Amino acid sequence: MSKSCPKCAGRMEQGFVPEAKDYSTNVETWVEGAPRRKWWGIDFKGLRRLPIETWRCARCGYLESYAPA
Ligand SMILES: [Zn+2]
């Protein structure tokens, strides 16, 4: 898959944004719907989650994110 930058038409390179948890690191995810806040944090139960691809322009550094199914 090749993408070009919407800002400067430079070449986009694939990457990801790590999400730091207490004792592990994961890839940031997209979650459907609005966040349901509970007293202990956000409730993700039953919601669709997709890992986020973040593409970076090699020329200007612009970041663009995708969450392919
Ligand atoms: Zn660019």
Neighbours of 55 (CB within 10 A): 20
The domain locations on the chain are 12-66
pLDDT score of 4 more than 80: yes
The CA 30 to ligand 1 mean position distance, Å, reads 24
Its pTM stands at 0.78
Are 2 and 48 in contact by the 8 Å Cβ rule? The answer is no
49-51/29-31 β-pairing? antiparallel
Structure confidence at residue 2 (pLDDT): 79
Tell me the mean pLDDT in the region 37-43. 91
Residue owning tokens 């806040």: 37
The CA 55 to ligand 1 mean position distance, Å, reads 10
Give the Cα separation of 8 and 63 in Å (integer).
12
pLDDT score of 21 more than 70: yes
